[in-house]
Amino acid sequence: MARITAGVFTSHVPAIGAAMDLGKTQEPYWQPLFAGYEYSRQWQRDNKPDVVFLVYNDHANAFSLDFIPTFALGTAAHYPVADEGWGPRPVPAAEGHAELAAHIAQSVIQEDFDLTLVNRMPIDHGFTVPLSLMCGETPPSGKWPFKVIPFAVNVVQYPVPSGKRCFQIGQAIRRAIESYDEDINVHIWGTGGMTHQLQGPRAGLINREWDNRFLDRLIADPAELAQTPHIEYVREAGSEGIELVMWLIARGAMADVAGGPAPVVKHRFYHVPASNTAVGHLILEEAK
């Protein structure tokens, strides 16, 4: 049986990818940010999954205003790196796990969640920056150390899904993964956030207190956190802070939500600023 053994949560700020690609990680601006991920890279090597189910959002690279899937499951065997305007990032393309993805599609859709299935999509910074943060520098000719299943959530064009719906779909994803008949180790990642607003009079908004309360509640009471109305994210975390609903998908897939033991907090990190964004990061390991 496939097992979910950990949840990883992280921001995906595009400038973090650029800092790595341009060799700036030891500059004073970036050094404290990357120091916060040193533990995570070692943990990742020590706890290597077979597959990462990676919840993220596309930023009008694979999708556009032409069509806007609320929840899109990647069922492909291969995901090329998107060109976001400066050429594709110099990182490897990702390998999918098409069989497990097809099983998840079957299970989750039969539980009445209407997913969009995507057989071809490039992955943008929303996907590659979390990979780079957790895995470190990987040459374009190399490989990421695990297969991936992308799960793209619309948090760009209103109306976006509620935290409650995200939390429920995470629970369905857990049931799907746990009913897959092969003994593989799966990590689930929730990415995006934390507070940021990129536009209008409040551009640059950061709300440390709200972010840290979000992290507290994500750890200790995710069911209550999932009730947060979308307008609170916009008011308190900024228009792009709504990306945080994606963390509730990953959290909803963890054992305690299904009546099991609470996860162990292996790492917690918060840093301001990275570009216009507050960076948050958590590693929650399932009890052994």
Among 176, 252, 277, 285, binds ligand DHB (CB under 6 A): 277
Q: How far is the CB of 10 from ligand DHB (least distance, A)?
A: 11
Q: How far is the CB of 57 from ligand DHB (least distance, A)?
A: 8
Which of 78/202 has CB closer to ligand DHB? Answer: 202
Residue among 12, 103, 196, 271 flagged as catalytic: 196
281 is catalytic: no
Which of 63/180 has CB closer to ligand DHB? Answer: 63
The C-alpha atoms of residue 5 and residue 13 are separated, in whole angstroms, by 26
Task: For residue 277, give the 3-state DSSP assignment.
Answer: strand
Contact 176, 104 (CB under 8 A): yes
Which of 71/127 has CB closer to ligand DHB? Answer: 127
Which of 42/199 has CB closer to ligand DHB? Answer: 199
When asked if residue 60 is in the footprint of ligand DHB (CB under 6 A), the reply is no
- For CA atoms 74, 196, 232, 216, the dihedral sign is positive
| Torsion from C-alpha of 156, 161, 163, 167, nearest 10 degrees | -120
Strand locations in 146-249 (E): 147-153, 185-191
Contact 151, 55 (CB under 8 A): yes
When asked if residue 276 is in the footprint of ligand DHB (CB under 6 A), the reply is yes
Strand locations in the chain (E): 3-10, 51-56, 71-74, 78-79, 94-95, 116-118, 147-153, 185-191, 264-274, 277-285
Among 4, 9, 10, 12, binds ligand DHB (CB under 6 A): 12
Instruction: For residue 171, count other CB atoms closer than 10 A to its CB.
Output: 17
Q: How far is the CB of 46 from ligand DHB (least distance, A)?
A: 28
Least Cα distance to 107 among 166, 168, 175 occurs for: 175
Contact 259, 287 (CB under 8 A): no
Which of 56/146 has CB closer to ligand DHB? Answer: 56
Among 7, 14, 36, 49, binds ligand DHB (CB under 6 A): 14
Which of 168/239 has CB closer to ligand DHB? Answer: 239
DSSP codes of every residue in 46-113:
HT--SEEEEEE---SSS-BTTB--SEEEE--SEEPBPB-SS-B-SS--EEB-HHHHHHHHHHHHHTT-
When asked if residue 275 is in the footprint of ligand DHB (CB under 6 A), the reply is yes
When asked if residue 30 is in the footprint of ligand DHB (CB under 6 A), the reply is no
When asked if residue 160 is in the footprint of ligand DHB (CB under 6 A), the reply is no
How many CA atoms within 13 Å lie on the side-chain side of 228?
27
When asked if residue 191 is in the footprint of ligand DHB (CB under 6 A), the reply is no
When asked if residue 198 is in the footprint of ligand DHB (CB under 6 A), the reply is yes
Q: How far is the CB of 285 from ligand DHB (least distance, A)?
A: 26
When asked if residue 174 is in the footprint of ligand DHB (CB under 6 A), the reply is no
When asked if residue 251 is in the footprint of ligand DHB (CB under 6 A), the reply is no
Tokens 């969640």 belong to residue: 113
Q: How far is the CB of 104 from ligand DHB (least distance, A)?
A: 25
196 is catalytic: yes
Catalytic (active-site) positions: 125, 196
Binding site for ligand DHB (CB under 6 A): 12-14, 59, 196, 198, 240, 275-277
